Structure formats: C-alpha cells, structure tokens
C-alpha cells in the first residue's frame, strides 16, 4: 500500500519556534553562554533547490573558553521523490520526530534496519525514554520529546527501543561503508561525514556508497549538523547526493 504523510500536520509542529530554556540542544553549556536561545526553523515542502542557510542561531556551545553560535537552515525541507520520503533539517535530533511521523502514517509499517551514516554514532542514552501507547505514536509527545528532551547525540536509542528499527548499522569508517543492504532500509545521513575530520575516506567513494544506499531507502533523513560542518558546504553535498 502506498502510504502518504500528512505534511500539513507535520508543518503545524515545525512552524518556526525558539527554545530559551536549558532543554534539548539548548542545554549544552547553557549557563556558560551569553546566547541562551536557539531557533528551530519551519518545515516546507520542496526539494534541494529550497535549501538555504538561515540567519538565526540554531546551535550554541561553549568549548575551550570560547562560545560558538552556529546558523543552520532557513527552512527544513520535506521532499517526495520517486516514491521516497525525504526530510532535510539541521540538528540531528529532529530525525526522531520524522521517523515517528513516518511510523504514525504507516510509511514504516514494520521494523526496518536503520543505516546511520555519520561522523558520530549518536548512540548515547537520553535521561528519559519514549513510550508508545498501545503501539501507537502520539505526535505531540514525539515532537516534545525530540525537541525538549533529545539532543544531537542521543536520538537513536529511544527509536530502537520503541521498535521502529530492527537493527542499527553505524557507517562511520571505511570498512562500514563497504556494507550492502539486501532489503528496504531507513537511511539516516549526517552530512558531517564529509567534514574535514572524515577526509581520510575518499569523498567520491563516500558519495558513491551513499548513492547506492539510496536505492534501498524507504525513508531518508538528512542532518546538516551546523556545529560540525559549514552549512553552505553541507547543502552542496546534499545536492551532489541527489544528482542523477
């Protein structure tokens, strides 16, 4: 069955808002920073041509005596391409909500392998888990959990424990990129896999392997990770991923 997402309902949640409390991603070094507010951009329906760098701070951190304030995307983008559902956003914790929305809509109708292509594993355990209600997702609770509990490093474990995924394959090194998938997957990409720290893996090879994984993906989530890679560079890589 060809399931569809109610994108207007999802846009109702992601309508552009600020977080000014020490929760979610805004909890990082909150009391050390001068900037105490981050922005979560609105979601639009579009494609890679709609990806633009925004002018509001979406991630703040205080590290080695210096405050870093990073701009993210102007808008998150939902794209329906060749029957695949694609979400593109900046901070990676938002993947949790989009996975749950896909499960709620029946796009994910059985536990699938998650292929997580990333410089980091993001497999930390959050302080609080996420509970399904009789096997169903409450989208408001999933939204609140993704934005006010989770952060960029701990969003996979609660989805795995909720039964969304059968397994998680972490693709963060040369040997992991060699893996092939024989069945449908959820493909989760962090564009920081193309950051300078990951330059020891040939860029053309990474790009080719990601393109290969696209063929098996039922749902694709892509994070531009403002703290780890320049957003103009991130957008360029996303466009290359989908070049035919």
Per-residue pLDDT of the chain (244 residues; tens, 9 = 90+): 457 889 999 999 999 999 999 999 999 999 999 999 999 999 999 999 999 999 999 999 999 999 999 999 999 999 999 999 999 999 999 999 999 999 999 999 999 999 999 999 999 999 999 999 888 999 999 999 999 999 999 999 999 999 999 999 999 999 999 999 999 999 999 999 999 999 999 999 999 999 999 999 999 999 999 999 999 999 999 999 999 8
Q: Is residue 173 assigned to a domain?
A: yes
Model-level pTM? 0.97
Give the CA dihedral 186, 16, 155, 137, nearest 10 degrees: -70
pLDDT at 134: 87
Residue 36 is predicted with a pLDDT of: 97
Report yes or no on 1 lying in a domain: no
**Does residue 52 form part of some domain?**
yes
| CA distances in angstroms from 56 to 11, 53, 226, listed in the order given | 19, 9, 12
Contact 217, 84 (CB under 8 A): yes
Q: What is the pLDDT, as a whole number, of residue 111?
A: 96
Residue 210 domain-assigned (yes or no):
yes
pLDDT of residue 147: 98
SS3 content of the chain, % helix, strand, coil (to 5): 30, 30, 40
Domain that holds residue 104: 7-241
Residue 228 included in any domain: yes
The residue among 83, 54, 57, 160 whose CA lies nearest residue 116 is: 160
The total domain count for the chain is 1
236, part of any domain? yes
User: What pLDDT score does 244 carry?
Assistant: 84
Residue 13 lies in a domain: yes
């Amino acid at each position: 069955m060809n399931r569809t997402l109610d994108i207007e309902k999802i846009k109702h949640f992601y309508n552009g808002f600020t977080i000014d409390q020490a929760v979610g991603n805004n909890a990082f070094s909150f009391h050390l920073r001068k900037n105490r507010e981050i922005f979560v951009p609105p979601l639009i329906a579009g494609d890679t041509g709609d990806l633009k760098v925004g002018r509001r701070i979406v991630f703040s951190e205080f590290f080695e005596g210096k405050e870093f304030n990073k701009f993210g995307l102007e808008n998150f983008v939902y794209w329906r391409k060749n029957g695949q559902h694609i979400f593109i956003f900046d901070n990676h914790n938002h993947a949790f909500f989009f996975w749950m929305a896909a499960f709620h809509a029946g796009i994910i109708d059985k536990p699938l392998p998650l292929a997580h292509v990333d410089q980091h594993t993001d497999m930390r355990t959050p302080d609080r888990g996420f509970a399904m209600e009789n096997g169903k997702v409450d989208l408001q609770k999933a939204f609140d959990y993704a934005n006010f509990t989770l952060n960029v490093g701990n969003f996979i474990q609660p989805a795995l424990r909720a039964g969304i995924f059968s397994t998680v394959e972490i693709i963060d090194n040369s040997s992991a990129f060699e893996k092939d998938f024989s069945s449908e997957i959820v493909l989760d990409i962090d564009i920081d896999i193309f950051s300078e720290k990951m330059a020891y893996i040939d860029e053309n090879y990474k790009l080719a392997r990601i393109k290969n994984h696209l063929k098996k993906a039922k749902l694709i989530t892509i994070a531009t990770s403002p703290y780890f890679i320049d957003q103009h560079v991130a957008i360029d890589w996303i466009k290359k991923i989908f070049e035919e």
